């Protein structure tokens, strides 16, 4: 067990170097590598460099690797040909090498299954002739940028997620994560601004959660009861950091319970600052992770500016690293989260987790 940072007990995170287990998922510590897009897989096929990248992060201590977002089969899952895909024999072979490399270092790994919906830009380079699709074919400003998904499209999409889920299980992954965050396809259903449907997939919060819940249920049915499903969601969107879909804990419950009932095992609450209270007018100052755990009773992954001095796509942070480590430890001790995902700090230093474990904070290569 670590001695922590010598001389400053506030920055010891020893409690986070304990094993985590949920269903079929076993992780040797509480640190996950956050999913981070790289655009380094020519033709969408993970290659030897990709396997080495994830191996190095596993060797550096991240107990759970959540891969970069990887496209499910379309229609029009995303704009970039070098984002890895999660379907087809060639990609499957590439992913198997990634899984083996990570497992050889003692870490667990899940793919993040991704469809960008209409957040695909005006001139996508992958599948350029396909029209973008989303709940209503409009972006967050109401502008028409694609077409609304028909019922047949929804069925095809369910089949795409199922195809990828089966591939994840057959390739030896330890579970999978559904990317339901940041304003991409599944989140476009959640968000009233991008979901104007008047069928059973639009309207109330619960109805807006219906298609994401159908994806979870279809995946659950395909992979069986023991293969962990992580669901990542956020209030913020890549196109609007101030966006909120739930203004109260009650509204959050409306969104999350259908997903729980459909079979989610773990929620990954994507925030940019893990220490911020989610509902400021509420007596309880829980963050989004804490609220999600309280509402669902399920394990939760927190994330947001751990080990860095600036917010993701935002400004500088005033508190010192040791102050924030202390808050992280206190949140963990209060049971507000089970795992913490670390993004940019691991990009700068793949050995970040091991250095924190060993109290070698001065050796950490900082993220700039
Ligand atoms: C280069 C980069 C790529 C990212 N790509 C993804 C992605 O593919 N999927 C996703 O859910 N989040 C993505 N994110 C967001 C991160 O997962 C994470 O939530 C964010 O960086 C905040 O964590 P941090 O403060 O520890 O960096 C990305 C972030 C960065 C910096």
226, pLDDT greater than 80: yes
Residue whose tokens read 């994560």: 177
The angle formed by the CA atoms of residues 75, 81 and 86, to the nearest 5 degrees, is 60
Report the DSSP beta bridge partners of residue 256: none
Structure letter (DSSP) for residue 243: -
CA distance 205 to 23: 29
Region 289-316: what's the mean pLDDT? Answer: 94
Region 284-313: what's the mean pLDDT? Answer: 95
311 Cα nearest atom in ligand 1: 25
Q: Is 273 left (phi over 0), alpha (psi -120 to 50) or beta?
A: beta
Mutational pocket test of ligand 1: of 80, 269, 305, 312, the residue with most ligand atoms within 8 Å of the beta carbon: 312
Cα 189 to averaged position of ligand 1 atoms, centre (Å): 21
Region 114-120: what's the mean pLDDT? Answer: 97
Catalytic residue among 184, 231, 233, 241: 184
Q: For residue 283, what pLDDT is reported?
A: 80
- pTM for the model: 0.97
Structure letter (DSSP) for residue 131: P
pLDDT in tens, 137-171: 999 999 999 999 999 999 999 999 999 999 999 99
Tell me if 227 sits within 8 A of 176, measured CB to CB. yes
- CB within 8 Å of 362: residues ≥ 6 apart: none
CB within 6 Å of ligand 1 — which residues?
A: 34-37, 68-69, 112, 179, 181-182, 232, 270, 303-306, 308, 312, 342-345
pLDDT in tens, 351-368: 999 999 999 999 999 998
| Cα–Cα distance list, 48 to 97, 191, 326 (Å) | 8, 38, 38
Closest CA to 261 of 222, 206, 300, 223: 206
53 catalytically annotated: no
CA distance 307 to 304: 9
Q: For residue 275, what pLDDT is reported?
A: 93
pLDDT in tens, 22-31: 989 999 999 9
Residue whose tokens read 């104007």: 196
Structure letter (DSSP) for residue 316: B
pLDDT in tens, 323-352: 889 999 999 999 999 999 999 999 999 999
* Mean per-residue pLDDT of the chain: 95
Closest CA to 74 of 18, 146, 15: 146
Which residue, judged by its Cα, is nearest atom 14 of ligand 1? 36
316, pLDDT greater than 80: yes
- Give me the sign of the Cα torsion angle 45, 48, 51, 52: negative
Please name the residue ranges forming H helices in 78-135.
89-104
H/E run at residue 55:
helix 48-59
Report the DSSP beta bridge partners of residue 174: none
pLDDT in tens, 3-23: 444 446 557 899 999 999 998
């Amino acid at each position: 067990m670590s001695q922590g940072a010598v001389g400053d007990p506030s920055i010891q995170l020893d409690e986070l170097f304990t094993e985590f287990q949920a269903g079929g998922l076993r992780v040797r510590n509480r640190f996950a590598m956050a999913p981070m897009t790289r655009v380094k897989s020519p033709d969408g096929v993970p290659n030897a460099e990709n396997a080495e990248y994830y191996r190095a992060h596993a060797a550096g201590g991240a107990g759970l690797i959540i891969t970069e977002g990887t496209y499910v089969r379309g229609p029009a899952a995303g704009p970039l040909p070098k984002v890895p895909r999660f379907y087809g024999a060639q990609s499957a072979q590439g992913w198997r090498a990634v899984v083996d490399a990570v497992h050889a270092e003692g870490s667990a790994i899940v793919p993040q299954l991704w469809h960008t919906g209409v957040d695909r830009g005006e001139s996508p380079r992958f599948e350029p002739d396909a029209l973008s699709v989303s709940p209503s074919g409009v972006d967050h400003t109401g502008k028409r940028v694609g077409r609304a998904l028909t019922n047949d499209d929804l069925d095809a999409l369910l089949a795409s997620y199922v195809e990828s889920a089966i591939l994840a299980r057959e390739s030896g992954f330890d579970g999978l994560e559904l990317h339901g965050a940041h304003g991409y396809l599944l989140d476009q259903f959640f968000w009233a601004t991008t979901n104007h449907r008047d069928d059973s997939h639009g309207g109330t919060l619960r109805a807006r959660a219906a298609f994401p819940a159908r994806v979870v249920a279809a995946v659950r049915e395909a992979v069986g009861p023991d293969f962990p499903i992580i669901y990542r969601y956020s209030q913020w969107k890549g196109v609007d950091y101030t966006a909120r879909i739930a203004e109260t804990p009650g509204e959050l419950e409306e969104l999350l319970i259908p997903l729980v009932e459909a079979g989610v095992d773990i929620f990954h609450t994507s925030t940019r600052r893990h220490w911020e209270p989610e509902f400021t007018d509420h007596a309880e100052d829980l963050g989004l992770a804490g609220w999600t755990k309280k509402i669902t009773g399920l394990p939760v992954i927190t994330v947001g500016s751990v080990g860095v001095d600036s917010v993701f796509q935002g400004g500088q942070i005033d508190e010192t690293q040791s102050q924030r480590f202390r808050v992280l430890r206190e949140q963990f001790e209060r049971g507000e989260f089970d795992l913490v995902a670390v993004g940019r700090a691991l990009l700068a230093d793949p050995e970040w987790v091991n250095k924190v474990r060993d109290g070698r904070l001065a050796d950490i290569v900082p993220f700039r």
